[in-house]
Amino acid sequence: MSLGTRIRLALATTAPTLLTLPVCCALAAAGQVPWAVVPAVLVALAVLAVVRVWQSRPRRRA
Considering the chain, what is the average pLDDT of its residues? 86
Which pLDDT band, with edges at 50, 70 and 90, does 26 fall under? very high
Residue 20: its pLDDT value, please? 87
Distance CA 5, CA 55 (A): 13
Of 46, 58, 56, 43, the closest CA to residue 14 belongs to 46
Mean pLDDT of 39-59: 87
C-alpha span between 12 and 31 (Å, rounded)? 30
What pTM does this model have? 0.70
pLDDT of residue 62: 64
Q: Find the mean pLDDT for residues 9-33.
A: 88
With cut-offs at 50, 70 and 90, classify the pLDDT of residue 31. very high
Does residue 1 contact residue 48 with C-beta atoms inside 8 Å? no
